[in-house]
Structure 1
Amino acid sequence: MYRLILMCLLVAAPVQADIAVATRTIRARTILTPEDVTLKPGTLPGVYSDTAQLLGLETRVAVYAGRPIRPGDVGPPALVDRNQIVPLLFQSGGLSIQAEGRALSRGGEGDQIRVINLTSRTQITGQIMPDGTVQVLQ
């Protein structure tokens, strides 16, 4: 009987975990280093629980000291800056077209951005590839 009650209490107790918090106020567009983040005991859904996952990521917004770091607060480092000339690549089947464009926003690998094709002056949407090329979305 006592074993059953003890097991129920253990199962019902909340599990303590660690959450990643900023050690100082970090401005947007800062690459995170080991000195910028630490672990703090607590439970909070939707936040990082491992500082190793954050290292090398770039802050998208200002992160304040002692505050938990959420996935929307960070992302891959920007490869393309606003107004930067970028190579555009359009591929469909066996057809491959390359051109130059001007980025209308800033972004990192995998981000979708708007780009102006410098030849036709049309706006297109593309995804930033690991080498900084913008793959035109169909």
Structure 2
Amino acid sequence: MRWLFALLLLPGPALADTVVASRTIRADTVLAATDLALLPQDTEGALDDPRLAVGMEARVTLYANRPIRPEDLGPPALVDRNQLVSLSFHSGTLSILTEGRALGRGGVGDVIRVMNLASRTTVTGRVTPDGGVIVGPNP
């Protein structure tokens, strides 16, 4: 009987909250605080703080009352598919600037493909904070 009483006094596992979508949210939607809710359960691999999701963009469709995982979200896209963007290449003192057409969507730091409008070749580059794309050895 003593061991039963001792078991009751031991602390149980601490439960964390899980961030879930308060409604079905389509991909490419920037999340607001009203789009999120907390469930009092611990879901492995899911977000536990809604502040980590507010302002991020849904990369996939988020269904109501389902846990939101970090890989479901990303930075908001600055560049949309078919958008005209400035392409820049820098190597030492050489600097080339031209115009291109984005072949995909991307946020700051994402790697996307872009068609160089002058040469009609496809290059890969990294999206910059100003909405341009840097190509080169370390895009």
With the length of structure 1 as denominator, give the TM-score of the two structures. 0.88
Deviation at 1:67, TM superposition (A): 0.4
> Following the alignment from structure 2 to structure 1, what is the Cα–Cα distance between the partners of residues 101 and 89?
15
> Following the alignment from structure 2 to structure 1, what is the Cα–Cα distance between the partners of residues 125 and 13?
44
2:28 is matched with 29
One-letter identity of the residue aligned with 1:81: D
Does 1:117 pair with 2:116? yes
Cα RMSD of the aligned pairs, angstroms, is: 1.9
Q: Identify unmatched segments of 5+ residues in structure 2.
A: none
Deviation at 1:15, TM superposition (A): 2.4
Aligned length: 133
2:102 is matched with 103
User: What secondary structure, in the 3-state scheme, does the structure 2 residue paired with 1:25 have?
Assistant: coil
> Following the alignment from structure 2 to structure 1, what is the Cα–Cα distance between the partners of residues 93 and 49?
43
Deviation at 1:106, TM superposition (A): 0.8
> Following the alignment from structure 1 to structure 2, what is the Cα–Cα distance between the partners of residues 66 and 85?
38
With the length of structure 2 as denominator, give the TM-score of the two structures. 0.88
Does 1:62 pair with 2:61? yes
Stretch of structure 1 that moved more, 113-122 or 39-48: 39-48
Deviation at 1:31, TM superposition (A): 1.1
One-letter identity of the residue aligned with 2:98: A
Contact 1:127 1:137 in 2 (8 A): no
- Runs of 4+ aligned residues of structure 1 deviating over 2 Å after TM superposition are none
2:78 is matched with 79
User: What secondary structure, in the 3-state scheme, does the structure 1 residue paired with 2:71 have?
Assistant: helix
> Following the alignment from structure 1 to structure 2, what is the Cα–Cα distance between the partners of residues 134 and 33?
28
One-letter identity of the residue aligned with 1:58: E
1:18 is matched with 17
Q: Percent identity?
A: 56
> Following the alignment from structure 1 to structure 2, what is the Cα–Cα distance between the partners of residues 44 and 135?
39
